Amino acid sequence: MKKILFLAIGMMTILILNAQEPQQPKLAKNDPSLSTYLLDSVEIPYDKVGKINTELIESVNVFKGPDAIAKFGIKYKNGVVMIKLKKAK
């Protein structure tokens, strides 16, 4: 009986510790396999994309694989996301 109780407490401890480990983000900010983001033709870091006011966006174009390489060069083989902002009136 003590053996079963000891195993049960041990398993619960392991489950609790695993549940509390912080999860690593799937995509790191400096991951070289990420697409490149261009805001009005200027390269911007990945972490600034989420801070763009969506009300100001006129269009978003995505170029992947061979299309990205043909238009922008081999440096952009992982894709390009072009974000164009509305012109100020």
Who wins on pLDDT, 42 or 32?
Answer: 42
Torsion (CA) 11, 12, 14, 18 in degrees, nearest 10: 140
pLDDT tens digits along 35-73: 999 999 999 998 898 899 999 999 999 999 999 999 999
pLDDT tens digits along 9-28: 767 777 676 665 555 555 55
